[in-house]
Amino acid sequence: MFADSSSSSYPSNYRSPRFWLRRMTRIPRPVRLLIFVVVVLLLYLDRGFVSPDADRGGGGWTGGSSRSRAAIPMVKSSFAWSKLQHRYPVESFTPLPTGKPRRLPRVQHKFTGRARFEVSRLESRRQEVRKVFKKCWGSYKKYAWMKDELAPLSAKGKTTFGGWAATMIDSLDTLWIMGLKDEFYEAVEAVATIDWEDTPETACNIFETTIRHLGGLLSAYDLSQERVLLDKAIELGDMLYAGFDTPNRMPPFWLDFKKAKSGGLVAEEHQPSASPCSLSLEFTRLSQLTGDPKYYDAIARITDLLDKHQYDTMLPGMWPTFINMRDLIFNQERTFTIGALADSLYEYLPKMYEMLGGLEPVYEKLYKGSMETIKEHILFRPMLPDKADVLFSGTARVNHDGQVSLNPEGQHLSCFAGGMFALGGRLFGLEDHVEIGAKLAKGCIYAYNAFPTGIMPEIFNMIPCDTLNGCEWDEERWVKEVNSKKLPKGFVRARDKFYLLRPEAIESVFLLYRITGRKEFQEAAWQMFQSIQKATETEYGNAGIDDVTVTGETKKRDSMESFWLAETLKYFYLIFSPPDLINLDEYVLNTEAHPFKRPK
């Protein structure tokens, strides 16, 4: 059937469209009509389900590019961290779990064929998000190229994370996902020239550099298979790995370059728990891609500590907000939260179980144990006039008499918890966790809708009910406790009224939609997007705002962190895209929304 085209058995005009049209006329008309319908249907499904923007500037995330696909050369960094002799070398590495990954429970909702056809209905929403991203990216390229951030009011570049083009690296996978392939390859060529030794700083934040830079490089490689991205990730990974060269192999908060080269690093006595305990996904993926166990060994030692001390802290099941990593003391601090300073520690527990294909059971143990404590002491249902069945997470403190007191202080940062509970619920067969996740996500939606700007504050307080089952509205009590007439009913304080373009609320809304298939989350996302765009848009992009409680014009800050393009807009785009675009059963998203390919 597929003989060589030079064969004499073919008519001389076999390449002509007329030849094939005449052949088609010999097929009975009903059969021709059926073929036509099937072809059109297949083309529609392919367009809507795989590559939503294939016809718009880049070929979609699985398509090609008008740019040359020749190998992009890498400029090596001027210092080779891989050759650094460690002062405290590892004698025996903990290897990656071996064996065929388990067949894990399905995470993503099984969307029907109807969901595929509904993609076209959401086309305009997806394109609105894409348009906002392109505007911000265009301004970054024009005014802040190779800088860490764009200042969206003054149209200047800012150095905030070592000067290693944080926004560029953080946005690589978003460019790919949105089908902006020419922009993607232009950025890759620039990233290939980065010298990790070329920085005005004397140290870098290990956590931030890991989730933004290393995570961004690894996910962009997983999506595009551009080798230079993995090579750059290895260079950076070796630099970050030097942070583990301490007497107890625990990393400090800051990677001081001079001390790292001389073997003088030590872990701090008062370190945010999220910092050393949220490096696991990125270091694990680097070991999986390179076959080098040293990266996984580094974070496995931290996991062993979490396991060892899970039930000897002041609040058994959870780990304190701050940890003494120098002396490995976990039972002195009395404050516990899943908000700022601790958040991604908990987020990574079910995600690491996924990333390792279910072959390391300790992550299931750590997740289940910590979530039970969180349900009992951290989550609360607020007293609301409409008795909405929503949840928030607060902060617990263990008093000197051993009693646990709850501070019902909600945070935008902790809005990620809805997605965490839903993911854990699916992975471990805990359907009540999926419903808890939905109520947490709805809590953040509720907070968005409650304020005049349509955006929730960074930090706020509410009146908690005695149980998660709810309580009656008490107007007199609310009036007595509220500290500002500008606050909507149910909210008694807004300590920090600003919004920094954060992604955590839309993150959970996206995950709950993909996990449950409930369209209410899609509709909530559209309302959130419109409110954020209205309140934060500037001439050059989008900016954080000072006060979400105001009516009318908002006062903007000259700040647009890289997570706006890496996370917030990516989640908004994905929730209106075909379900197979970054399928949750194929990818694990790190805390900066970078998708890593799950091992099969």
**Active site members:** 208, 343, 458, 504
**Distance, CA of 129 to CA of 390 (rounded, Å):** 28
User: In terms of Cα–Cα distance, which of 495, 515, 389 is closest to 446?
Assistant: 389
**Distance, CA of 275 to CA of 284 (rounded, Å):** 16
Eight-class DSSP state of 196: T
For 263, residues 6+ apart whose C-beta sits below 8 A from its C-beta are 86, 87, 88, 245
**Distance, CA of 280 to CA of 298 (rounded, Å):** 9
- In b/e form, how buried is each residue of 125-151, taking b as 16+ CB within 10 angstroms? bbbbbbebbbbbbebbbebbebbbbbb
Alpha-helical segments (H) within 470-548: 475-481, 504-516, 519-536
**Distance, CA of 478 to CA of 172 (rounded, Å):** 47
**216-220-225-230 Cα dihedral, nearest 10 degrees:** -10
For 599, residues 6+ apart whose C-beta sits below 8 A from its C-beta are 101, 288, 355, 356, 357
Residue 155 φ/ψ, nearest 5 degrees: 55, 55
User: In terms of Cα–Cα distance, which of 437, 456, 459 is closest to 379?
Assistant: 437
**Distance, CA of 444 to CA of 415 (rounded, Å):** 6
User: In whole angstroms, how far apart are CA 461 and each of 233, 268, 489?
Assistant: 41, 31, 12
User: In terms of Cα–Cα distance, which of 108, 166, 180, 129 is closest to 589?
Assistant: 108
